[in-house]
Structure formats: structure tokens, C-alpha cells
Amino acid sequence: MKYRSILFLTVCVLTVGLMALPAHADTTYHYTFVGDDNAGDTVTFQLATSSLLSESAVSSYGTSALEYCTNCAAGSSPVVYFQPNVPSYGDVVEVSDNNGFFDWYVFNPGSFSTLGDYATDWNGNGYLTVAVPEPASAPLTLAGGAMLAGLAFFRRKPVASNLLA
């Protein structure tokens, strides 16, 4: 019985270890944006990148590079531009909407390279979230529950047969 408990604990530790490795091996940064365009429509998009956006170079993305883009212009040309450190403005998100307008949303300098939630300083009603989601929290929680259930099962003491005599 003792060997079964040790084997179970070994399997549990290896399972949690193997699940935790992919959770931190490939970090994905999500840029989620919601804003009202010049025509009154809500424009939303989400971009997933392997690193935070540069604070020194303009980044542009077409609809195929975005996870989703609602009310953005159709086509393969870039529809979203991240322009960091625009003099006298700050960090600017420019979105080409489905009405043919380029809408500007201005955020504080450094917003593209720092995790957090941001609201536009001026020129529009826009919100930007820069986050790293935790992809493995649900499987790790389930593995922890299974381990506790297994420990409870293996820790049961057998009924002593000499008490019945």
C-alpha cells in the first residue's frame, strides 16, 4: 500500500510539473482595444504578440494578423497602427474603420510596453488593455483537485478486522 501512495505522489508531481512548463514557455501578450469611431460605431480588435510592442518603432497589422477586428476596414492592407511616442501626443493607436475613416486614440507614453489598462487621453473614447493571460490555470486547478482526491483515497485506514471478533 505504501508503494502505491509513493507512486501516486510521483505521478501527481510529474503531472503538475509538465502542465506548468507550457504555461510559461511561450508568453503571449494580448492587446485588446475598444473604441468609438467617428461614425458612432464601436471598433474592437485583439492582437496577440510574442513580445511587448516597441516604444521606438511603428507597428502595423492587417486583419489577418489580428485575432478579431470588429467594424475594421476590410482588406489585406494594415488596418491597425501602433505609433509610440508621437511628439506632443504620446502613444497613438490608429484604426481604419469600416466607414473609411482613420480614427486616432491617444494614450499616455509607455502604454504599449507596460502591462495594464489604459483610457484615451483625448480624441475619442478608447480603451486599451495590455495583458498576459494565464493559459494553464484551469488544468492546474483540476490537477490539484485530483491530487487531493487521490491523497484522501490513499490515506484511508483499513477497518480493523479484530474489532469485529
> For 88-134, what is each residue's pLDDT tens digit?
889 999 999 888 888 889 999 999 999 999 998 676 688 999 998 76
Mean pLDDT for all residues in the chain: 77
- 49 phi, psi to nearest 5 deg: -130, 160
Residue 118: its H or E element: strand 116-119
The Cα 67–Cα 64 span in angstroms is 8
> For 52-98, what is each residue's pLDDT tens digit?
898 889 999 998 999 999 988 887 688 999 999 999 889 999 999 88
Q: Which domains are assigned to the chain?
A: 29-131 (2.40.128)
Q: What is the pLDDT of residue 15?
A: 64
Average pLDDT over residues 160-164: 54
Query: What pTM was computed for the model?
Result: 0.65
